[in-house]
């Protein structure tokens, strides 16, 4: 009798335990714990590298490819060389390379539609023998390389630009300029801010067809290291009144001088990146 009662009790206990396991939260070991939230290791924000950029690294040697050129004869020695845009400025007769007031030198550009983003990497001035070493300034001189934003009508004297170089007696600086109907307003960010005479320049074309300007010292590992952009003169705005750009603009590279002091020199750029 005792044996029969023990058997019946054992069967009842087994049945109870088996029916109760669905109400118990299963134990998950490290390997079977399911998906856990992962830390976002990306830099995030507007300063993060964008997967949408199209990059032109000026590979090969020869003429620039897929650019629209305005006033080519003002600065004929522009090409791709050694993986860079290279503009040799050896002659500035009658200030033919100048971008100021009614003067429009050479522009090599892409037609973009607002909103957009345009970045020029490691753009600046150098010597004929070493394009990455800036010319030693002496007295007052105006020699630059940088980015111009021009209204779609290239015959119109309405543009904005941000360029790197020597400006008068303000050496190793970045200059900003707005030109409206041939009247230019200009300033800079101060002397010795870009001690190598080079910078990365970023132009953001906003939805409302205005632009915001940023700069930084060159980031040679921009594919791996996040940029640290600085607003131009703390606001991102160029001096004076900006042109009315319209929905489409030409954005591209310029190299120019005023006068003849500091000539010859070269303007170079390692790459441009466009998100349009």
pLDDT digits (tens, 9 = 90+) for 25-64: 232 333 333 332 333 333 333 443 345 899 999 999 999 9
Q: What confidence tens digit (pLDDT) does each residue in 183-195 have? A: 999 999 999 999 9
Structural domain includes residue 122: yes
For residue 200, tell me if it sits in a domain: yes
Domain membership of residue 104 (yes or no) is: yes
**Does pLDDT of 73 surpass 80?**
yes
pLDDT at 274 over 60: yes
Domain-embedded: residue 135:
yes
Please tell me the pTM assigned to this model: 0.82
Q: Does residue 163 fall inside a structural domain?
A: yes
**232 within some domain:** yes
29: in domain: no
Q: Which residue range(s) make up the domain with 258?
A: 59-275
Structural domains counted in the chain: 1
Q: How do residues 164-223 score in pLDDT, each as one tens digit? A: 999 999 999 999 999 999 999 999 999 999 999 999 999 999 999 999 999 999 999 998
What CATH number does the domain containing 70 carry?
A: 2.60.120.200
Pick from 134, 140, 179: nearest CA to 156 = 179
């Amino acid at each position: 009798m005792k044996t029969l009662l023990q058997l019946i009790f054992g069967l009842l206990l087994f049945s109870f335990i088996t029916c109760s396991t669905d109400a118990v939260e299963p134990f998950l070991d490290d390997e079977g714990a399911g998906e856990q939230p992962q830390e976002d290791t990306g830099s995030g924000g507007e300063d993060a590298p964008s997967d949408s950029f199209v990059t032109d690294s000026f590979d090969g040697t020869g003429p620039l490819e897929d650019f629209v050129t305005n006033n080519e004869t003002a600065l004929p020695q522009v090409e791709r060389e050694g993986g860079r845009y290279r503009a040799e400025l050896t002659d500035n007769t009658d200030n033919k390379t100048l971008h100021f007031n009614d003067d429009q030198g050479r522009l090599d550009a892409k037609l973009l539609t607002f909103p957009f983003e345009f970045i020029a990497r490691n753009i600046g001035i150098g010597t004929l023998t070493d394009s990455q070493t800036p010319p030693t300034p002496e007295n007052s001189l105006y020699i630059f390389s940088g980015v111009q934003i021009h209204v779609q009508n290239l015959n119109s004297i309405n543009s904005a630009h941000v360029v790197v170089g020597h400006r008068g007696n303000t050496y190793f600086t970045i200059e900003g300029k707005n030109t409206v109907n041939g009247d230019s307003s200009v300033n800079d960010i101060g002397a010795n801010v870009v001690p190598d005479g080079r910078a990365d320049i970023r132009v953001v074309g906003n939805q409302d067809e205005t632009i915001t300007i940023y700069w930084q010292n060159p980031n040679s590992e921009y594919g791996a290291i996040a940029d640290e952009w600085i607003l131009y003169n703390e606001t991102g705005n160029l001096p004076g009144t900006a042109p009315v750009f319209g929905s489409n603009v030409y954005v591209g590279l310029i190299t120019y001088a005023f006068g003849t002091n500091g000539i010859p020199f070269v303007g170079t750029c390692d790459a441009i990146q466009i998100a349009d």
